């Protein structure tokens, strides 16, 4: 699930509960829809070992996500709840930020119930059940990452009161969606936007184009991101513990006030003080924009 602005006053659509949840209607999936999940699953499961953090692979296993077909959220939630107290609930599409944060703060992950069409395997703007469940849910079985997601939801509710959502949304983007982690000296993937994308799972680690920069909370919250292409910079954490502590221990109100006086940093730009892990060529972004 992504954070996308919807009017805060939007009320739940017809057929949804006041908290925007709907029934998954697992029995309503067609054979073709289950086959699309299987195709996407097999492709990622074959490619990710050695690239993704072992915590993700462990999550796939303990949640038994390798079973064929789109997972039944009720059954999945039972397993997940026993491990970390989280559950997965279905929503009809994007939800307002406050609703999204409230669910996270209560340890509920909201997931789209639809699955992409077989001719859209590689590109999709709206998060579907494959992105939301395959991408996000395995790490919710990790106790520390599970705590981080709850802390993020609580921080999100505070950021709305402080008028600083755009800054905090960047933290979600560069960690939960597009984060990298350094483990045993090697870079590994953990962001859901990467691990649910075949192309970006390769690009984020192997391509010489993007910058890879050590995670710094203030730097991340100043950095714009792109939603229409692979990222031009990735931020690398040392551990989920470190990410949780940096986020939980930060005093966000003065941080937001300080960020107001600092200019945003464009995607693909390095700034003094960056902990450079890989200085990217930015060739991919230049080629896409027609500049050479
Ligand atoms: Fe997402």
For residue range 5-60, list pLDDT tens digits in order. Answer: 555 567 888 889 999 999 999 999 999 999 999 999 999 999 999 999 999 999 99
Mean pLDDT of the chain: 93
Question: How far away, in angstroms, is 179 Cα from ligand 1 center?
Answer: 12
Q: Say what the pLDDT of residue 122 is.
A: 81
Question: What is the percent of the chain with per-residue pLDDT over 90, rounded to a whole number?
Answer: 84
- CA of 191 relative to ligand 1 center, distance in Å: 9
Residue 236 has pLDDT above 80, yes or no: yes
Ligand 1 center–CA 176 separation, angstroms: 7
Q: What is the pLDDT of residue 9?
A: 60
> In this model, does residue 292 exceed pLDDT 60?
no
Predicted confidence (pLDDT) per residue in 154-204, tens digit: 999 999 999 999 999 999 999 999 999 999 999 999 999 999 999 999 999
What's the pLDDT band for 1 if we cut at 50, 70, 90?
low
Contacts 24+ apart (CB under 8 A), 61-68: 62/141, 63/137, 63/138, 63/141, 65/41, 65/133, 65/134, 65/137, 65/138, 66/41, 68/34, 68/38
Q: What is the pLDDT of residue 121?
A: 85
* pLDDT given for residue 288 in this prediction: 86
122-146, pLDDT tens digit by residue? 877 788 999 999 999 999 999 999 9
Copy the structure tokens of residue 259.
């960020």
| pTM over the 0.85 mark | yes
Could you tell me the distance, in angstroms and rounded to a whole number, from the CA of residue 40 to the centre of ligand 1?
Answer: 16
The residue among 154, 152, 116, 120 whose CA lies nearest residue 134 is 116
Q: What is the largest CA-CA distance in the chain?
A: 54
Q: What pLDDT score was predicted for residue 52?
A: 98
Return the CA Rg of the chain.
18
Helix (H, G, I), strand (E, B) or coil at 182: strand
In this structure, the dihedral spanned by the alpha carbons of residues 135, 139, 140 and 143, taken in order and rounded to 10 degrees, is -170
For residue range 77-121, what is the model confidence (pLDDT) as tens digits?
999 999 999 999 999 888 999 999 999 999 999 999 999 998 888
Strands 180-183 and 108-112: unpaired
265 vs 41: CA distance, rounded Å: 35
For 251, residues 6+ apart whose C-beta sits below 8 A from its C-beta are: none
Give the distance from CA 109 to its chain's centroid.
11
Q: Which residues are catalytically annotated? A: 131, 136, 177, 196
- Residues 51, 205 contacting (CB under 8 angstroms): yes
Overall average pLDDT of the 144-152 stretch: 97
Quote the pLDDT of residue 128: 94
Say which residues have a Cβ less than 8 Å from residue 188's Cβ, sequence separation at least 6: 51, 52, 53, 54, 180, 181, 182, 205
Residue 291 has pLDDT above 60, yes or no: no
pLDDT value at position 84? 98
Helix, strand, or coil (residue 110): strand
CA distance 255 to 152: 16
Residue 272 C-alpha to ligand 1 middle, in angstroms? 30
């Amino acid at each position: 699930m992504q954070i996308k602005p919807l009017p805060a006053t939007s009320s739940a659509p017809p057929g949804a509960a006041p908290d925007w949840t709907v029934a998954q209607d697992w029995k309503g999936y067609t054979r073709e829809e289950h086959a699309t999940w299987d195709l996407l699953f097999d492709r990622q499961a074959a490619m990710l070992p050695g690239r993704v953090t072992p915590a993700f692979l462990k999550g796939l296993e303990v949640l038994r996500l390798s079973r064929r077909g789109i997972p039944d959220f009720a059954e999945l939630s039972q397993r997940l709840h026993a491990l970390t107290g989280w559950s997965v609930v279905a929503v009809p599409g994007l939800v307002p930020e406050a609703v999204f944060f409230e669910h996270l703060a209560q340890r509920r992950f909201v997931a789209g119930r639809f699955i992409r069409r077989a001719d859209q395997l590689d590109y999709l703007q709206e998060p579907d059940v494959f992105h939301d469940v395959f991408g996000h849910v395995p790490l919710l079985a990790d106790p520390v990452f599970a705590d981080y997601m709850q802390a993020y939801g609580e921080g999100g509710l505070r950021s709305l009161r402080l008028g600083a959502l755009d800054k905090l949304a960047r933290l979600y983007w560069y960690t939960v969606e597009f984060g990298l982690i350094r483990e045993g000296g090697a870079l590994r993937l953990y962001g859901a936007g990467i691990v649910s994308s075949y192309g970006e799972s390769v690009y984020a680690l192997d391509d010489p184009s993007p910058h890879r920069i050590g995670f710094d909370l203030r730097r991340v919250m100043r950095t714009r991101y792109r939603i229409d292409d692979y990222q031009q910079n990735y931020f690398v954490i040392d551990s989920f513990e470190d990410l949780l502590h940096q986020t939980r221990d930060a005093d966000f109100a003065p941080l937001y006030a300080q960020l107001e006086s600092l200019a945003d940093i464009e995607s693909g730009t390095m700034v003094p003080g960056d902990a450079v892990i890989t200085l990217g060529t930015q060739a991919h972004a230049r080629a896409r924009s027609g500049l050479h």
